[in-house]
């Protein structure tokens, strides 16, 4: 049986969401967030499972406080509708398979992080929350459990991150030169951001579009 372009796109989206949400649920229900828990080394010090919660943007970046969090969640939902509409258009116009799969990866990643923001605050008993007293996000102790009470309202949940690749870890003792502004003398670590499967899907999708844009958009030029 021949699989249509639309079915291939849906299959990619489904598989990414399945892996992303399954891993996030396991992490959330079995580990306490950093720095309270012990990291799980996967490939020595090169790759670790390092559970942290991200209240803002991808790769652990933050965006304002509670109000900024809500704006970001609304923007994500609008972006998903926009990307979804464009993906449907690509399928109908029989665009190159690579372009369709790239946008499928981006859409799946965006949906995966939206699910965290929308529902994790409702279904888990604890998570990172914003404290107006210290004007920052506060983590929690222990391991979360599923709960009907939740820890935050709709669209106010935190995104679960866990993939950590410290290619040059701080344990090596590298430091920024003292003459560098802002970071002079501080420990150097590469790669520092902690991310998840959804972030990876978005990055891979964008990467392939940038690399193969001439091939992907040739049909539109013609």
Active-site residues, by number, are 161, 199
Question: Residues 124, 135, 110, 118: is their CA dihedral positive or negative?
Answer: positive
Q: From CA 128, how far away is CA 66, in angstroms rounded?
A: 11
Q: Does residue 84 sit in helix, strand or coil?
A: helix
Bridge partners (DSSP) of residue 160 are 53
Distance CA 72, CA 56 (A): 7
Neighbours of 162 (CB within 10 A): 24
> Mapping DSSP to helix (H, G, I), strand (E, B) and coil, where does residue 33 land?
coil
């Amino acid at each position: 049986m021949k699989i249509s372009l639309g079915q291939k796109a849906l299959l990619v989206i489904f598989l990414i969401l399945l892996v992303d949400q399954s891993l996030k649920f396991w992490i959330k229900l079995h580990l306490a967030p950093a720095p309270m828990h012990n990291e799980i080394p996967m490939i020595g010090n090169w790759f670790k499972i390092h559970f942290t919660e991200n209240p803002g943007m991808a790769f652990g970046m933050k965006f304002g406080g509670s109000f900024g969090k809500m704006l970001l969640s609304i923007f994500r939902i609008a972006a998903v509708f926009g990307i979804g509409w464009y993906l449907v258009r690509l399928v109908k116009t029989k665009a190159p398979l690579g372009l369709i799969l790239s946008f499928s990866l981006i859409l799946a990643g965006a949906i995966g992080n939206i699910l965290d923001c929308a529902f994790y605050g409702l279904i888990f008993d604890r998570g990172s929350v914003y404290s107006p007293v210290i004007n920052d996000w506060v983590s929690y102790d222990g391991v979360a459990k599923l709960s009907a009470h939740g820890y935050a309202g709709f669209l106010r949940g935190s995104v679960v991150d866990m993939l950590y690749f410290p290619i040059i870890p701080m344990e090596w003792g590298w430091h920024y030169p003292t003459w560098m502004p802002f970071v002079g003398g501080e420990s150097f670590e590469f790669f520092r951001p902690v991310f998840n499967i959804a972030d990876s899907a978005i990055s891979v999708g964008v990467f392939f579009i940038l690399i193969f844009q001439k091939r992907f958009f040739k049909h539109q030029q013609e």
